[in-house]
Structure 1
Amino acid sequence: MATLLALDASSSACSCAVWRDGEVFSRFALTPREHTRRLMPMIDDVLAEAQLSHNDLDALAYGQGPGSFTGLRIAAGVAQGLAFALERPLIGVSTLAALALSAHRRYHLRHVISALDARMNEIYVAAYHCRDDHVTPLMDEAVMSPQSLELPDAPQDVDWCGVGSGWALWESMPTLVKAGLNQRFPDLQPAADEMVRLAARAFDAEEGRPAHEVIPVYLRDQVASKRG
């Protein structure tokens, strides 16, 4: 089985995780504006716990976004640098898919809408069906105002769950969304321990790519509001 390292800096949290023959070792810390300083020591620490060196890795992965523009660039830079140096493939993992998997694994939820606060009264959002640690997209990743959100088409008896910081904008959500949501977890953050599980499946499916081909997913090119 493969040995992988995943890292993430897409939110106020900084995390990394190792997948070694199905076993996961991870580190997670809320470190706003300290990702650059904290990430490499966390990587060294988790590799030491797993009793691995960099050369033992078969591939690397990182949270490719959407999320904090600065954090995504930090994670991409570190992951690409390691992948180049080790001559290993690199796998970008969706932060929204990782959130959905976290909700599924923690709370046994199956229909999840992941949403992250994108600032400027917008959210990054996608929907997933989760089963047996698999996540299947039901809605493409998008950036939109919370007022524009709609529930994906699904049977009437589906219990939707909202996860991620975007759900802190609950008061701005449409009435139909509020009525169709069973529960929400706005404090849950993207984390590398879920990303490394998704990356392991992607690696087994031979989805690893050369480091120079993997780029962050921003969803939004405009990072500042235009003045009228």
Structure 2
Amino acid sequence: MKKLQLLAIDTCTETCSAALLVGDEIIANSKIAPREHAQLALPMAKALLAEAGLSLSQLDAIAFGRGPGSFTGVRIGTATAQGLAYGADLPLLPMSTLQALARQGYRLSKCPLQLAAIDARMNEIYLGSYRHLDGDLVPQVSERVCPPQQWQDAITDADATYFATGSGWLAYHQQMAPLPSQVTCHEVDLFPLAEDMVYLSQFAWQRGEAVDAAEAQPVYLRDTVTWKKLPGR
């Protein structure tokens, strides 16, 4: 695999994070600050480039969290990455927050099968299932938004052990219980991180998934939301 220089930014959930891959080394920064992503993302990215002594023009591409996650957070991350990419004439690598969460779960557990669930609000979860293969986290089912009770639809191997991680397991633990013995669920307070995205973006680059900045699209999974007007508003 070619030694790449990649920057990743993620603002899709409560955690704002940035990471820089230079060859085999990753440097990263993150902060749980749900209402400060617009102010934090760009300075985080610039600080990492300064630490590594690199300019944007020296990068191969910029990866960003394309969702799913908070509608506002997904838009902030996409717009920030597009702005940086336009300015430096770089391609973008849209990365899944669920896949990044699964990679974090793998780092912690070394379990090859991962179930990632993010609280989608409105009594739903964003759900994905992944298998660790040659360093990459390969999707086993299509990512989806669904009621928490349907999480078992993501299990593709009834005889294997799974590691479950993400805020969905914490938010809806009663609806998702009882967990079968094959599912270990400990790291429920984790959020996706750019350091996992920048690692996984190497594989996305090799698969030819880089796109022009104008073509980069967020992935919400939930296409429509019905808002109820409060009385007196």
Structure 2-normalised TM-score? 0.91
Relative to total residues, which structure has the larger strand share, 1 or 2? 1
Deviation digits for residues 68-95 of structure 1 (CA, Å, limit 9, x no counterpart): 1100000000101111111111010000
State the partner residue of 1:153.
Answer: 156
What pairs with 1:80-119 in structure 2 (closer than 5 Å)?
80-119=82-121
SS at match of 1:139: coil
State the partner residue of 2:196.
Answer: 194
What letter corresponds to residue 3 of structure 1 in structure 2? Q
Aligned residues: 225
SS at match of 1:148: helix
Match of 2:9 among 1, 7, 10: 7
State the partner residue of 2:27.
Answer: 25
CA distance, structure 2, for counterparts of residue 180 and residue 224 of structure 1: 37
Task: Sort the Cα spacing of 1:36 and 1:161 in 2 relative to 1 into closer, same or farther, 3 A.
Answer: same
What letter corresponds to residue 172 of structure 1 in structure 2? Q
CA distance, structure 2, for counterparts of residue 155 and residue 218 of structure 1: 29
Return the offset for 1:153: 2.6
Whether 2:45 is the aligned partner of 1:51: answer no
SS at match of 2:186: strand
CA distance, structure 1, for counterparts of residue 191 and residue 210 of structure 2: 25
Task: Sort the Cα spacing of 1:155 and 1:172 in 2 relative to 1 into closer, same or farther, 3 A.
Answer: closer
State the partner residue of 1:38.
Answer: 40
Whether 2:175 is the aligned partner of 1:172: answer yes
Return the offset for 1:40: 1.2
Task: Sort the Cα spacing of 1:146 and 1:225 in 2 relative to 1 into closer, same or farther, 3 A.
Answer: farther
- The percentage of counterpart residues that share the same residue type is 39
State the partner residue of 1:215.
Answer: 217
Root mean square deviation, CA, Å: 1.6
Return the offset for 1:225: 5.1
Return the offset for 1:155: 4.3
CA distance, structure 1, for counterparts of residue 128 and residue 86 of structure 2: 31
Contact residue 8 and residue 14 of structure 1 kept, 8 A: yes
CA distance, structure 1, for counterparts of residue 48 and residue 191 of structure 2: 19
Structure 1 residue ranges without an equivalent (≥5): none
Structure 2 residue ranges without an equivalent (≥5): none
